[in-house]
Structure 1
Amino acid sequence: MTVTTEAPTLKASVDVRFTAAGTPLAVRYDGRIWVVAEEPVHWFTRDSWWETRRNVPVGVGNVVDIEHWRVQVRRTSDSPLRTFELRRDPLSDQWLLDAVTDN
């Protein structure tokens, strides 16, 4: 499955299991467990909160950092790798699957 220009993002809710060190270990997507098979890539982007939220209560916490992970996953040890792009928006505990790419 590859995300196309007609559907640039999936925005599907997923569950992510992390190691004790905070690195993704597995992703539950579409009722299946996908195991992280390669070293994941981690980065942050900034949200334009002033455009997406009219106001932010004082003391709410971090409202600008969007967390991203790019993980290469597989279903079984001999299945092909796929790349999942994960995102967690500020003030949310829910991870979203933004894109899936076949390697």
Structure 2
Amino acid sequence: MTATVSEKTLDAPVDIRFTAAGSPLAVRYDGRVWAVAAEPLHWFTRDSWWKTQRTVPVGVGNVVDIEYWRVQVRLGSNSPLRTFELRRDPLSKQWLLEAIIDN
């Protein structure tokens, strides 16, 4: 028997509640609040600015770092874990649910 992983790409806007230390605590998606149930993974990638040809005024700040969080979430203590991959693009304050990965 082999395990399969199903991934659904969304790019849906979400709201994230963070702890005082800056880690995700809960994600509001599709009218529901999903509690973070395991230690989240955090990383950054670089935007391909040479492809997007994004122009910004001098002094605006970081316009190339894309922030990611991968969190395992659940609706309640008995519900199955789901993995959400969250993304925030440079110059945006809106978080997006990039993908849901079901194990």
Tell me if TM exceeds 0.5.
Answer: yes
Once the two structures are TM-superposed, the CA of residue 94 in structure 1 deviates from its matched residue by 0.3
SS in 2 for 1:62: coil
Name the amino acid aligned to 1:23.
S
| Equivalent in the alignment of 2:45 | 45
Which structure 1 residue ranges, 5 or more long, are not aligned? none
Structure 1 stretches of at least 4 aligned residues deviating more than 6 Å after TM superposition? none
- Give me the whole-angstrom Cα distance separating, in 2, the residues matched to 1:77 and 1:20: 23
Q: Which has the higher strand share?
A: 2
1:63 aligns with 2:67: no
Which structure 2 residue ranges, 5 or more long, are not aligned? 1-5
- Give me the whole-angstrom Cα distance separating, in 1, the residues matched to 2:16 and 2:82: 16
TM-score normalised by length of structure 1? 0.90
TM-score normalised by length of structure 2? 0.90
Contact 1:3 1:10 in 2 (8 A): no
- Give me the whole-angstrom Cα distance separating, in 2, the residues matched to 1:48 and 1:97: 20
Percent identity of paired positions between Structure 1 and Structure 2: 78
| Equivalent in the alignment of 1:92 | 92
- Give me the whole-angstrom Cα distance separating, in 2, the residues matched to 1:74 and 1:48: 33
Report the aligned-residue RMSD: 1.1
- The structure 2 residue matched to 1:3, chosen from 7, 31, 36, is 7
| Equivalent in the alignment of 2:102 | 102
- Give me the whole-angstrom Cα distance separating, in 2, the residues matched to 1:84 and 1:59: 33
